[in-house]
Structure 1
C-alpha cells in the first residue's frame, strides 16, 4: 500500500479528520469524529465505518467538540504513526475528562497489536475494533456506554464489506477509492499487514462494478481500485462456474463509461501480468500509471525481505511495462537500512533509482515492527544515523529524477481531470494527467470534474504548470 515517511508526493495524508462537504437533509441524533492515519485502505475503511454508524443515527463532524464518539483509524506500519496516535489519544483523554459521556475508540491496524495496553494499562480508550470487525461497532458502542471496555479484533477469512456503500468523507466529488480486496498473503518480513489485516480475500466482482458505476452516476470521474496487492485479485462465484481475475475486473470497470478514469494500487512486481498491461493498452480511460514497489535494489536484501524476486527480475518487469506502455508513469516504495544492509546493497538501490527514474517515490528508513518476521528472524543492526544518511541519498537521487522527468514534459499537452482549486491561488485549478503528475493551470471557466487539455509551459520537481488549450 501507499505508505509514506519522506514527503515526495502531493497525495501524502496523515491524521486527517473527515466529514462530507455536501449538506445532508438527514437529521442525526449523535455526531462522530474520525481521524485516519496511514494507507489509502485505512481512509476507505473510515468511509465504511461512517456508513455503519449512519445506520445507527450518527452523523460525521469535523468539529471534535461536537462529537459524542471519537474514533482514530490507526496504522502500525511505522513507529512514528503509532507515536502520533498515542499523542492524540492523550489529548482526547483530556477532553473526555470534561465530557464524561464521550466515547473514544481505536480502529484499524493498531487495534489488535496494542489492545491490552490501550484499554487496561494506559486507559486511553473505551473500545478497540479491528479491521474485520466494523460491523460489530453498534454493539460495541452500546456496551461501552454502560461503562464496559469493548473489544473485537478477530480477523476474518470472508469479510470484504462488499455489501456496504461507503459514505465519502474526504469528498471532492471527483475522485474516490473502491476497495476490491482485503488482507495479504505475501509474508514480506518487514511488514505487519498480514498480522493486522489477515489473509487475502477478494470482493464480489459485481459489487465492485456496481459501486464504481454508482460513483460515476453521482458525478465522480475517477476511481482507484484498491488492495494490498491488486494483481492477485481472484474472485469465484458461489456456484464455482465464474472466475474473475484482476485484468478482467479492470476491463469491466473501464467499460462503465469512457469518461470514468480508472487507476489501481498497489501492484506486487511478482504478480502484475501482461494481461493487465494489454487491458491498459486497450482502454484510453485506464491511466498509464503503475505503483510498483521495489523496496530495495539489492537481490540479497530482497531475499531477506521475502520479496520473491531479484534485482534482475524487477528490471525485466520494468522493461516489459515500458515495451507495452511506453509513456507509463512509475512510482515505488523504498526502504533504506534494512537488517544487515551493506554499503554495496545501498549502492544497488541507488543504481536502481537511477536506472528506473521513477516519477514518484515513497521513501523511508527501516523501522522494526513488533510481530513481523524480520523482528523474529533478524537483528535491526543498522544505526539510525546510517539509515537516515542513506535515505537522504536516495531522496536526492529521486529529486533529480523527478525534476528531469518533469522537464521532459515541457511543451507537451495532456488531458487533465480537474480535481479542485490550487492551494496557492484561487485563480488556478489543479488536476492530474494520465501518468499521475499534478498539473496546475489558470482557472478560466473550467470547474471540478472537467477534462481539460493543458499544454505544459514550466515545472517544478513536483508539479507541472501549464495553460489550457482549445
Structure 2
C-alpha cells in the first residue's frame, strides 16, 4: 500500500486544501505517514504571500529530493507558490515531478498515482508533469467534494475543523499575489456549507472556522434578508446546527464590513468572542499605496463598534512594516493605532517583494535593517499588551475547548478560550473534545495554565 507525506506551509486555507488532497489519497487506498523517509509520495502545499514560508518549502523539498536511494518517490509542490512559479520550480528542483496550481487540486491524485505506478512498474525512467492551468474549478462544484475533506486519520477525535465557504479574491492589494493564484471570488451555497457543518457536528466537532480569502464578502450576489447580507445569513444558518458549540471566521476586510455583521455579535452566542481583522497599516497614505480602500479611521471605528457589541471581544490583526515609501511618521501612525486598539495579538511582517505585484516595482523600497527595527519595536508593543491582558485573567474562570494533548507535555491537554487564547490544562485525557469551565491559575506571558473547576473535574 503506497504512503503519502504531505506538509503545509501557510494559512488555514492551505491547511484545508491539504486535508482535501490527503482525503482523496486515503480514499484511493494510500496511507498517511509523518515520516518523510518512508513516503512514496511527498507533497508540499506552500504559501507564496510570505517569502519565509516560500523559502522554507523550497529548502526542505530540495533536501528531501536528494534521496538517491529511493528513485521511485514522487515529489510535488502545490498551492499559491506552485501557481505563480511553476516553471522556476522545475529549474530550482530538478527532481520535482509535478506542480499543482490552486485550481487543479481535484486532479492531484490521478497524476501522482500515474507517475508512481509507472515508476514502480518500470515502464519509464522519468516522468514530469505540470498542470497548473488557468481553468477555474471550484471545489464546491465537484461531486462529493465536500465529503472528501474529512480528517483522514481519525474523524471522531477532532473537536475543531475548517470549512471553506468561498474561494478567490478580487481586492488586488498591491503587495498580495493571492488574486493571481486563487482566482475570482466564488461562494458555495449555504445549504452545502450547512450540510458539511452538520456532518462535522455529528462526528463530534464542536467548533468550526469558516474560511475565505475575504470571508465577509461571501454571498455578495445574494439578496438581503431582513437587512442582512449573505455572510450574516450564513452565520445564522450555521448557528442552528445542533451539537455545534462555536463558530469562528477568518479573515474579514474593512470593505464590506457592514453593521449587520457587527450586530451578529449581539445575538449569536456561538460566535466566538474573537476576530482576526487585518489592519496592515495605520497610515492612510500607506493604505492608499497598498490599495487598501479604507481609511484608518474606518478601521478603528469598526473595532470600537465590535467591542461595544461584544465587550469581551479580542481582536488580533496583521500588520506590514517597511512597505515601499513608508516613512518614520507613517510607521508611528501604525504604532499609535496598535496602542489605541490594544490588539490582543498581531502578526507583524516585514514587507517582502512578491514578483508580479505592483508593490514589487514601487520606488522607495525600505532597507532591511529599517524593516527589522520597526518590526522589533512594534512587536515589543504588541507583546506588552498581550502579556498584560493574559495576566489579568489569572484567577478567573474561562470556558475552554480542550482540543487534545499538549505538544510539549502529553499528560496535559491544550485548548483555547472563546477569545482564542491558548490554555494548558491539567486534566484527564478523556476530557479532550469537551468545552469546560477552567480556572486560570498562571500565565507565563503568552500561554495560560489552568485546571477544571471542581464540579467538572
Give the structure-1-normalised TM-score: 0.87
| Rounded Cα–Cα distance in structure 1 between residues aligned with 2:140 and 2:77 | 19
Q: CA deviation at 1:432?
A: 1.1
Confirm or deny that 1:430 pairs with 2:414.
yes
CA-based RMSD: 2.1
Confirm or deny that 1:265 pairs with 2:250.
yes
Deviates more, 1:199-208 or 1:174-183: 199-208
2:260 corresponds to which residue? 275
1:188 corresponds to which residue? 173
| Rounded Cα–Cα distance in structure 1 between residues aligned with 2:160 and 2:394 | 26
Confirm or deny that 1:42 pairs with 2:14.
yes
Contact 1:37 1:74 in 2 (8 A): yes
| Rounded Cα–Cα distance in structure 2 between residues aligned with 1:53 and 1:170 | 12
- 1:75-98: CA deviation from partner (whole Å, max 9, x where unpaired): 111222222122112212212x21
Contact 1:143 1:150 in 2 (8 A): no
Confirm or deny that 1:381 pairs with 2:365.
yes
- 1:275-307: CA deviation from partner (whole Å, max 9, x where unpaired): 123223212221111110001111111110011
| Rounded Cα–Cα distance in structure 2 between residues aligned with 1:232 and 1:322 | 21
Contact 2:412 2:429 in 1 (8 A): no
Aligned length: 435
Confirm or deny that 1:168 pairs with 2:165.
no
Confirm or deny that 1:152 pairs with 2:126.
no
Q: 1:50 to 1:428 in 2, by over 3 A?
A: closer
Q: CA deviation at 1:101?
A: 1.7
2:46 corresponds to which residue? 74
Q: 2:214 aligns with which of 229, 233, 238?
A: 229
SS at match of 2:87: helix
Q: CA deviation at 1:249?
A: 0.7
Q: CA deviation at 1:230?
A: 0.6
Which structure carries more relative contact order (alpha carbon 8 Å, separation 6+)?
1
| Rounded Cα–Cα distance in structure 2 between residues aligned with 1:250 and 1:272 | 14
SS at match of 2:66: helix
Q: CA deviation at 1:143?
A: 5.3
2:112 corresponds to which residue? 141
Q: CA deviation at 1:59?
A: 2.3
| Rounded Cα–Cα distance in structure 2 between residues aligned with 1:304 and 1:230 | 23
Task: Show structure 2 runs of 5+ residues with no match.
Answer: 119-123, 223-227
1:404 corresponds to which residue? 388
2:439 corresponds to which residue? 455
| Rounded Cα–Cα distance in structure 2 between residues aligned with 1:413 and 1:259 | 22
SS at match of 2:23: helix
Q: How does 1:78-89 map to 2 (within 5 A)?
A: 78-89=50-61
Contact 2:314 2:344 in 1 (8 A): yes
Contact 2:405 2:429 in 1 (8 A): no
| Rounded Cα–Cα distance in structure 2 between residues aligned with 1:468 and 1:160 | 41
Give the structure-2-normalised TM-score: 0.90
Confirm or deny that 1:343 pairs with 2:328.
yes
SS at match of 1:177: strand
Contact 1:182 1:197 in 2 (8 A): yes
Q: 1:380 to 1:109 in 2, by over 3 A?
A: farther
Deviates more, 1:270-279 or 1:308-317: 270-279
Contact 1:158 1:201 in 2 (8 A): no
Q: 1:412 to 1:156 in 2, by over 3 A?
A: farther
| Rounded Cα–Cα distance in structure 1 between residues aligned with 2:415 and 2:422 | 6
1:22 corresponds to which residue? none
Deviates more, 1:329-338 or 1:151-160: 151-160
Q: CA deviation at 1:193?
A: 0.6
Q: CA deviation at 1:55?
A: 3.8
SS at match of 1:124: coil
| Rounded Cα–Cα distance in structure 1 between residues aligned with 2:337 and 2:208 | 30
Q: CA deviation at 1:385?
A: 0.4
Contact 1:156 1:198 in 2 (8 A): no
Deviates more, 1:39-48 or 1:434-443: 434-443
Q: How does 1:260-339 map to 2 (within 5 A)?
A: 260-339=245-324
| Rounded Cα–Cα distance in structure 1 between residues aligned with 2:343 and 2:248 | 17
Q: 1:369 aligns with which of 325, 350, 354?
A: 354
Q: CA deviation at 1:360?
A: 1.7
| Rounded Cα–Cα distance in structure 2 between residues aligned with 1:156 and 1:292 | 31
Q: 1:373 to 1:279 in 2, by over 3 A?
A: same
Q: CA deviation at 1:268?
A: 0.8
Q: CA deviation at 1:447?
A: 1.0
Q: 1:178 aligns with which of 160, 163, 178?
A: 163
Q: 1:245 aligns with which of 213, 225, 230?
A: 230
1:18 corresponds to which residue? none
Confirm or deny that 1:392 pairs with 2:364.
no
SS at match of 2:65: helix
Q: CA deviation at 1:409?
A: 2.3
